[in-house]
Structure 1
């Protein structure tokens, strides 16, 4: 991957520059993980951590005098525009996950006390998932529209945006219920047939148990809550790196 500008004749810090080479290496690692990693909470959490490292490295690269001398005002504005949209993805994800976690807290409480309106809390949890889907798709559409308008953006920053968006798409796919599990049935035979498709992760396992509330296990709800917490922590750390990164761009 060439770390160079497409707009100006000036070269971006070349691959020989240690910091540019480090960014290049991190981008390649993230690209490889898109196909090599299984769709699991641990793999997504690791990719979030890698994205945080990537943006920390981009922040260091932006502080190089050669980088600041080469960037034009238009390019700085494009980088800022992309970073704020990525932060929007982080904020939407955090809000949606927070709502889901709050609903799961009530579900756990009802299961422990063995009293309360479990159906109502399950509906709230599913509604929070629907909210996340709608909000995520809206932000993603705006971000991709901006990318189409900025075809002349810097290769390295465009690539960083691309791998970041790809991670959030993977995470959203991980959280969303598969279509094969969309129609809930109370027929035991059908539940058995759907079980293999639905038990792929913490989210779909609990979804399957929602089909018959009596089968809902507090242990699985707790595992799902821990999974959501891990994702929240990873997104929060990434957000902090993105804010620091934006400050460096603003200081140019």
Structure 2
């Protein structure tokens, strides 16, 4: 399901169809993004990703679409959408754990008493959990790719772009540079090399890992960033569920 593929099945809605053309436009917009360097940019992409899946849901409901898909292909669409929902759940769980830790750290900083060192260790442990969980889900995507069914190409492109954006989100949250096979997909979405930016997450990490005093303002900014990401992931999850229901209704 390569992002660069532009093959279409003869039985599938052509690019001339308004809805298919709209999906193509959204895919091109998502592929043109550079590596995320701020919470506002990543939240904007999550919003655009939600719009993409809303459009895919409308594409699925076109009368011609069910005729172009076999039961096996429908099963692949369901499997792919479920795995993307798994990505959403992994990120939501990690964000929730980090936010809970940050709230406790803020409480300790305000009261100027409590086990600050212990809470910092718990917070950093939640970051490690995110990395392991995300890599596990990504591995399942790599082993489940389908590159042959032409009728699935547009959905395959959407799936590849979605996973690439989630990898970009993961790199943003962990302060990591893109690596591995899926980073090649991410690079096709970017016009510049991925860099390790000092964003809200990495700024607080640096303060935790150094001996300089932790700034309450930075912790609060990170908490606000996490809330925005949670809202974006939650909205995307709702669109994905609606998309899956439309697939099931075929």
Q: 1:227/1:114 Cα in 2 relative to 1: closer, same or farther (>3 Å)? A: same
Task: Give 1:169-188 correspondences, 5 Å limit.
Answer: 169-178=167-176
Q: Secondary structure at the match of 1:243?
A: helix
Deviations 1:173-219 (A, max 9, x none): 1111459xxxxxxxxxxxxxxxxx98710011111111345510111
| Residue 250 (structure 1) aligns with | 248
TM-score by length of structure 1 reads 0.86
Q: 1:226/1:139 Cα in 2 relative to 1: closer, same or farther (>3 Å)? A: same
1: CA distance between counterparts of 2:196 and 2:79? Answer: 38
Task: Give 1:74-223 correspondences, 5 Å limit.
Answer: 74-147=72-145, 150-153=146-149, 154-178=152-176, 200-212=198-210, 214-223=212-221
Q: 1:106/1:198 Cα in 2 relative to 1: closer, same or farther (>3 Å)? A: farther
8 Å CA contact retained: 2:175, 2:197: no
Structure 1 outlier segments of 4+, above 6 Å: none
| Residue 186 (structure 1) aligns with | none
2: CA distance between counterparts of 1:163 and 1:22? Answer: 16
Higher-RCO chain (CA-CA 8 Å, sequence separation at least 6): 2
Q: 1:228/1:160 Cα in 2 relative to 1: closer, same or farther (>3 Å)? A: same
TM-score by length of structure 2 reads 0.86
2: CA distance between counterparts of 1:214 and 1:38? Answer: 27
2: CA distance between counterparts of 1:70 and 1:173? Answer: 37
* Post-superposition offset of 1:42: 1.1
Q: Secondary structure at the match of 2:44?
A: helix
* Post-superposition offset of 1:11: 2.5
2: CA distance between counterparts of 1:166 and 1:177? Answer: 16
Deviations 1:115-173 (A, max 9, x none): 000000001100111111100000000011101xx222411011001111111111111
| Residue 8 (structure 2) aligns with | 4
2: CA distance between counterparts of 1:83 and 1:102? Answer: 29
Task: Provide structure 2 residue ranges, at least 5 long, that are not aligned to the other structure.
Answer: 178-194
Q: CA RMSD in A?
A: 1.7
Q: How many residues align?
A: 227
Task: Provide structure 1 residue ranges, at least 5 long, that are not aligned to the other structure.
Answer: 180-196
8 Å CA contact retained: 1:90, 1:239: yes
Q: Secondary structure at the match of 1:246?
A: helix
Higher helix proportion, which one?
Answer: 1
* Post-superposition offset of 1:86: 0.5
